[in-house]
Structure 1
Amino acid sequence: MPDTMPTLFVSHGAPTLVMDSVPTRDFLRGLGNELPRPKAVIAVSAHWDTPDTRLSSGTQPHTMYDFYGFPDALYEMTYAAPGAPELAHKAAQLLEAAGLPAQLDEKRGFDHGAWVPLSLMYPQADIPVVQLSISSRKSPAHHVALGRALAPLREEGVLVMASGNATHNLREVFSHDMLEAPVPYAKAFADWLTGRIEANDEAALLDYLAQGPNGPRNHPTADHYVPLLAAFGAGGGAGKILHDGYTYGVLSMAAYAWGL
């Protein structure tokens, strides 16, 4: 039997994370070797935001360059991991059984929220990957439910890897240097988040805008936070921090694991 896989939340920052000399890149480069080798990955990315739940089901998803204005070398990178249509169908069945119907999308590629961290963790691109969309206009509880529905796949060696950012005020990034020390409001939220994850405090995590310090300033939009809730739901208990770091002062690059 495959190892029961943990679930992960990683902060992916700017697309250039794959190129930048920052501690989070080094952390992700080593992370794959610290985990049981997965049979497949379900990637929950902040950058696939759909009104209703969708799963990628193609056999060979393409690399998406869903960003602009970055160095040319970034647009020459590819991540050629195979898709996993059978896993996509099974995940859809689990979601349907939980009252969370999902559509299959054969044409969806890997957006940078998926391929940037995965290319660092598994550079050989030899582990099949299915992407699961978020629906940021739906409730935080919806995203916890998505993760819980997919939790049985962990027993089959499937790694649920959610990708977003522990803090994500993109508007304030451009007024800070990449290696700048964390600003107090971002650090306060990230520290609060770590405490609530370690305490398995679902109520607080769901109410992050009100209970988290400067919640709306750290997450003006929900898209980079709710992937964490999917990982929390799939993890089924208290989590732990694996990595703590910042880029541009306002982006916490924290990573968390459940079941590890």
Structure 2
Amino acid sequence: MPALYLSHGAPPLADDPLWPGELAAWSASLPRPTAILMVSAHWEEAPLALGATEPVPLVYDFWGFPEHYYQVTYAAPGAPELAASVRKLLRGATNDTPVQDFPDRGLDHGAYVPLVEMFPDADIPVLQISMPTLNPRKLMDIGRRLAPLRDEGVLIVGSGFFTHNLAALRQSGIPGWSSEFDDWGRRALAAGDVDALLDFENKAPAGRLAHPRTEHFAPLFVTLGAAAEELDSGRSVIDGFWLGMAKRSLQFG
């Protein structure tokens, strides 16, 4: 399976005239996954945690939206076998990566909002895991350990947003910091410049404005780790902007 990084959107993504169709077309171009492993910007927990392996209610981790956004459901099958594989790969022969279980933790909006558009039948097992750190190198290492799952048909998805600074958005138009970072990231990815990406806070123009807190860029590094042997195959499947934020989304393999 390929490995993906997607800009996941807020709940109103479903009302966008363009984006849901882009996500649907993307998923239609993929082989059917045996399971989906989601790493969302909206779950940080250390040590690394495994979410529910049986269907449980979604996590509506947003406030102040119209009521119908809280009525969305996504009853995908649980993925206990995938959870066991993730636990085994991360702990390894030396048992050096602790893993914990959150059996009541459902999918948050960074996971289910794009999945509703990409796999609306909710018939593919889904497991969400936490980010135990925002350190890019450590997240890449986690991705490398999880990479063998791709050979088993598991779709590994890092879900964030290519630029994300809600406080600095304007009333209209695309802020310079967002377009500059997006262009820099596009060129760094095309060149396979992983070192620059790892140091994006210092190397990218407006890096700290585009990501004042790095949780929405961090899932990219899990994806890069999972695709470490195929970085030259990377391509942008979705680009452009939503409310001034870059929605660049990537596929490797």
TM-score per shorter chain, which class? over 0.9
Higher deviation after alignment, 89-98 or 32-41 = 89-98
Contact persistence 1:209–1:215 (CA under 8 A): yes
Q: What's the secondary structure of 1:74's corresponding residue? A: helix
- 2:137 is the counterpart of 1:141: yes
User: Normalized against structure 1, the TM-score is what?
Assistant: 0.91
CA shift digits 1:144-169 (9 cap, x unpaired): 11111100000000000111000000
- 2:167 is the counterpart of 1:171: yes
Contact persistence 2:52–2:106 (CA under 8 A): no
Counterparts of 1:234-245 in structure 2, within 5 Å, are 234-236=226-228, 237-238=231-232, 239-245=234-240
1:191 alignment partner, one of 183, 199, 204: 183
Q: Distance in 2 between matches of 1:58 and 1:48?
A: 16
Q: Distance in 1 between matches of 2:57 and 2:110?
A: 14
2:203 alignment partner, one of 184, 189, 211: 211
Q: Distance in 2 between matches of 1:216 and 1:186?
A: 11
- 2:8 is the counterpart of 1:12: yes
Deviation at 1:107, TM superposition (A): 1.1
Counterparts of 1:27-106 in structure 2, within 5 Å, are 27-97=22-92, 99-106=96-103
Q: Distance in 2 between matches of 1:149 and 1:18?
A: 33
After TM superposition, what 4+ stretches of structure 1 lie above 4 angstroms from structure 2?
Answer: none
CA shift digits 1:94-143 (9 cap, x unpaired): 0111843221221110000000000100000000000011134x411111
> What 5-or-longer segments of structure 1 have no aligned partner?
none
What percent of counterpart residues are identical?
42
Amino acid at match of 1:219: H
Higher deviation after alignment, 69-78 or 12-21 = 12-21
**Partner residue of 1:155?**
151
Deviation at 1:82, TM superposition (A): 1.2
> What 5-or-longer segments of structure 2 have no aligned partner?
none
1:123 alignment partner, one of 120, 124, 127: 120
Amino acid at match of 1:44: V
Q: Distance in 2 between matches of 1:110 and 1:187?
A: 30
Q: Distance in 1 between matches of 2:168 and 2:217?
A: 17
Amino acid at match of 1:80: A
What is the count of residue pairs matched by the alignment?
248
